[in-house]
A and B are shown apart, each in its own frame.
Chain A
Amino acid sequence: MTAQASRAAARPGAAIDALVPRMTQICGPDGVITDPLDLATYECDGLTAHRCSPGLVVLPTRAEQVAAIVSTCAQAKIPFVARGSGTGLSGGALPRSDGVLIVTSRMRTIIAIDPESRRAIVEPGVTNLAVSQAARPFGLFYAPDPSSQVICSVGGNVAENSGGAHCLKHGFTVHHVTGLEIVTPQGELTWLGDGTGAAPGYDLVGAFTGSEGTLGIVTKIVVKLTRIPEAVTTLLAAFATMGAGGAAVSAIIGSGILPAAIEMMDALAIEAAEAAVACRYPEGAGAVLIVELDGPAADVARETAAVRGICEREGAYEIRAAHDAAERAAIWTGRKSAFAAVGRISPAYIVQDGVVPRTALPEVLERIAELSASSGIRVANVFHAGDGNLHPLVLFDDAQPGAEAAAAVVSGEILDLCISCGGSITGEHGVGVDKSRYMPKMFGPGDLDTMQLLRCAFDPAGLCNPGKIFPTPRLCGEVPGVRRAPHPLVASGQLEHF
């Protein structure tokens, strides 16, 4: 560090201020945000419980600019955080007051579509849905479809390994990415993979996908495109109880049918959706199941009949089928609005994202109901039933002192329940800042230490989205257990605790 830089670091904010001329040179004056009011608009992502105004925001338009920005940060030892559309639900893009927020939303060119190879090359700020729209004329689509697909960015999807309702059959982001151009945490522009999905060497594309922005910043993405299915049918089945709906889910999967999606909502979630979007789901339902089947027309017709039969046998008292896009949209309206709709029945709520083995669903739902009853805190359940991914919405009144803390306790107990069933603390939202404290409940010290070896290989200086995923950062190159001095990241003020 130069003498000048040392002096700058002595005054909070001064080290960041010192970067402004260089960042302006890289991104142009309209690509750098320093005004505190404007900075505040970036203080959180989709998880609003965690907020922090960034020290500086830059809005590059090209990969080379991202490389120059990162390399400037690396030289100045300033932490940096990447952000796409800011729709993440675990605080993965939570900025740092002493760091630079690199927003990729201006990098939104679909560079190429190769229909025969079923590949597209896109920039990270391109929205998820835009890829499918661009592919549609070729009879193709981009399969991962998080609920936020209208606005969320492909770069963010890569960082989070995003899923969506249809990943039960079609897989997650990691199954649909075959090449990544990234800027390494040292500021070097390089390609991981070559788009074939079979490049020689370690599968760094797979390892990078889902690393929550901690291994570098994506600047181009090669995605797989999928043939649009010949037929799609969506069924809505209403059951008196969650138990009956859950039994239908097990029976469908057990029959060897792999639907594109199986979604379930409980009475409270249905009530909220009804209040918000008047989805007109069957009255009196204790549970609704949405089953979507896609594929060759004859297979879909046969599977639809089979699923109908199973639902009837398991006690469905009303079944509706949608055969065109408009009817499908009508069925999906309630499900897709469910998170926001809960705002109609509760002033505030926590969205949880636990996973349990599918067969444990009935037991887990019962235990959640018990937790809710014993705590007096309402929990609405919306979930991807086919893959056991629960989204319990824990409701509370933020005007009541202590209510949020009480809701957080219930939310945490639900995660404990998921772990005790052999499940996961997150199915698709990521760990981010929100769940790093739960990581030691799911993984042992050896597991976490080993994961961080990958971090050390990519980001030995610990500047790339620090403080996310891992509750305790690993000092790269250290021998475990023989640390004698305070952790340098703590000493330098880059981390508050260790």
Chain B
Amino acid sequence: MTTHAVPGVLARACSEVRSAGPDDAVAGVAPRYVARPADLAEASAVMRAAAAEGLAAVPRGAGTRLAWGGPPTRCDLVIDTRRMNRVLEHAAGDQVVRVQAGVGLDQLAAVLAGAGQRLALDPPAPAPHTPPGSPSPAARNGSGAGTVGGVLATGAAGPLRLRYGTPRDLAIGITVVRADGTVASSGGKVVKNVAGYDLGKLFAGSYGTLGLIVEAAFRLHPLPGAVSFVTLDCADAAAAHAAIAAAADSALAPSAAEIDRPSRRAPVRVGVLLEGDPDGVAERAARMTELLGGSGTSAPPDWWGRAAAAAADGTVIRIAFWAAALTKVLRAVDTAASTAGLDPAVSGSAAAGVIYAAVDERAAPGAVSEFVLSLRAAVNGEAAAGPASPASGSAFTAAGSPSRASVVVLHAPSDVRDAVDLWGPVPSLGLMRAVKDQFDPDHRMAPGRFAGGI
């Protein structure tokens, strides 16, 4: 790897800039420089310098989900947010926290727990694949589940999404730096607020393609006094679907309802999370057990929330669908997998309509590609052809509209990435390109990482 001398304009902008090393590659693309701004002012200065030099920039937090998305078409500069790791304000009485983007989720959780509160996000933390004996950077700074900025930028969410939604639902304010260095905020630090456009929604899940997230404010929730996991094994997809539907349809307020099936011939494990006051949880767990069968325990099953971790170096595919289609989706996975000669692990938030299929890294790229394409064809075709109620089919077809499902490759080995379109069809791609053109007219922010090549 060639070492590049840091241009003066960049060195003057930021107190910590260095030439990039081999570990700084983003999805295999080597940057020239790494800047670690200390604060918002430096972050803005770095972005101005990058604009002046025409540098393509990729934001990076702990790197937990840096493998998600496509490889950047250009990457000159990595902007590492981890020096910006301060909890700016924890207004416990208001159940609101304001943090810098580089704060680790684990670090934040520890601060909030002191006040009996939490940010109700539990994105899967990929299994560490650092060699034994060398603690990963993430483990060192308390960001094992990633940084706040990274979680927001990828829209990552875990089992709790059923009750609390995804990062976009909990963010109440955001401060970003635009590609040209302009600092902009929207929202604020109150939960209820409709003043102006909500840039937090736009930046949540934008993979760094619109600008650099520097600060965010979140709504918090009380830590539950008790938790109970009701778990059971189901013989097949239909039985698991029935259990998930019964849990979601019950009045027992589940916080999560997950499935997990490590291999096609294994039973489908179902787990339902109940949270709250200890007496209430015990009572609801008893009722949930009566409803579903199975048993309740206060510890999560070992497979809980590990959806995307199942294939840290392999391919992880996110399938989103309307919850009523669960059986059809699981069967479509099986059909596509057997055609491709694969046996993916399937798990995720079935009641919320988001599950993951994980294929290990030894699978042939062609087979993975075939699996993704046939799964995509099956769920798109199924959703258009078999609406849940008679009148609803026309609703989506009238405007040449999307199907009710999507199949997105979150991350994959490079040879798989080369073989398959990671995102599949994207509704309103034209509007998304227009948004990108406005925020980043020179296409210097994480170019090529996102849907539709954005």
Contacts and interface: CB of A to CB of B under 8 A. Distances in A.
B205 A202 contact: yes
Interface in B406-454: 406, 408, 423-424, 426-432, 434-435, 437-439, 450-452, 454
A426 B96 contact: no
B192 interface: yes
A451 B183 contact: no
B52 interface: no
B92 to A, nearest CB: 8
B252 interface: yes
B12 to A, nearest CB: 22
A447 B426 contact: no
A373 interface: no
A298 interface: yes
Given A112-B395, A190-B399, A388 B192 contact: yes
A250 B389 CA distance: 45
Report which residue of B165, B353, B354 has the largest number of chain A beta carbons within 10 angstroms of its beta carbon. Answer: B353
Interface string A190-233: 11111111111111101101110000000010000001111000
Contacts of B388: 112, 114, 116-117
Given A112-B395, A358-B94, A450 B189 contact: no
Contacts of A428: 192, 194
A358 B219 CA distance: 12
A201 B195 contact: no
Contacts of A199: 320, 402, 406, 426-427
Interface in B313-370: 318, 320-325, 352-354
B91 A201 contact: no
A428 B190 CA distance: 12
A160 to B, nearest CB: 7
B431 A425 contact: no
A161 B184 contact: no
Contact of B404 (A196, A253, A254, A295): A196
B249 interface: yes
A228 to B, nearest CB: 8
A427 B196 contact: no
Interface string A143-165: 00000000000000000110100
Contacts, number: 307
B324 A114 contact: yes
A197 B430 CA distance: 19
Contact of A118 (B155, B248, B400, B451): B248
Nearest to A64: B398
B435 A439 contact: no
B404 A422 contact: no
B127 interface: no
A204 B428 contact: yes
Interface in B137-151: none
Interface residues of B, number: 99
A296 B406 contact: no
Given A112-B391, A116-B323, A194-B404, A211 B197 contact: yes
Nearest to B201: A206
Given A254-B93, A427-B194, A200 B426 contact: yes
Contacts of B408: 200
A260 interface: no
A469 B178 CA distance: 22
A196 B321 contact: yes
A254 B405 CA distance: 40
A429 B395 CA distance: 30
Interface string A174-200: 110000010010000111111111111
Contacts of A359: 91, 93-94
Contacts of B222: 256, 258
A442 interface: yes
B206 A202 contact: yes
B198 A175 contact: no
A446 interface: yes
21 contacts: A112-B387, A116-B249, A116-B323, A117-B325, A163-B194, A181-B401, A196-B405, A202-B206, A202-B451, A204-B432, A206-B198, A207-B197, A220-B399, A296-B253, A296-B284, A299-B276, A303-B277, A358-B95, A424-B192, A427-B193, A451-B186
Given A202-B435, A204-B428, A450-B178, 19 more contacts: A111-B395, A116-B245, A117-B323, A194-B405, A196-B321, A198-B406, A199-B426, A201-B429, A202-B205, A202-B206, A227-B251, A256-B225, A299-B253, A299-B277, A356-B190, A426-B193, A426-B194, A449-B184, A457-B438
Q: Which 5 A-B pairs have the closest CB atoms?
A: A206-B201, A112-B392, A450-B184, A230-B251, A198-B320
Interface of B: 91, 93-96, 116, 155, 165-166, 168-169, 176, 178, 182-186, 188-199, 201-202, 204-206, 210, 221-223, 225, 245, 248-253, 276-277, 279-280, 283-284, 318, 320-325, 352-354, 387-389, 391-392, 394-396, 398-406, 408, 423-424, 426-432, 434-435, 437-439, 450-452, 454
Interface of A: 63, 111-114, 116-119, 121, 139, 160-161, 163, 167, 171-172, 174-175, 181, 184, 189-204, 206-207, 209-211, 220, 227-230, 250, 253-254, 256, 258, 295-299, 302-303, 355-359, 384, 387-389, 422-431, 435, 439, 442-444, 446-451, 453-458, 469, 476
